[in-house]
Amino acid sequence: MTPLCRCCRTPTLTHREFLRACADSGLVLINGQLFGSLTDATTAPKLREIEAKLRFKCEFCQLTYCLSCLKKFAPTHTGGGSACPACGKQFNPIQ
């Protein structure tokens, strides 16, 4: 079962699932560069839509968040990056 975001309760994506979703949408990322069969006007919004579902998990309390909610609700961690809205510990992307 795909973990849901603690805030918005939507399914989240691992990095591998993110790449698959991009490919299924006609988008290909090579060395951080976006290539696709979609026009430039539709490529960026589609990529942002998929990227917003990327999964992040707190190392300490094990709660899962999507990138969209992490950007909205997570405070800055003293070590850099985002902190867990629930416990304040640092996040790692789920590969």
Q: Which pTM was predicted? A: 0.79
What pLDDT score was predicted for residue 83? 87
Average pLDDT for 61-68: 92
44-53, long-range: CB < 8 A, 24+ apart = 47/22, 50/13, 50/18, 50/21, 50/22, 50/25, 51/18, 53/10, 53/11, 53/12, 53/13, 53/18, 53/21
Position with higher pLDDT, 66 vs 93 = 66
Average pLDDT for 5-18: 93
Q: Tokens at residue 28, please? A: 């290909």
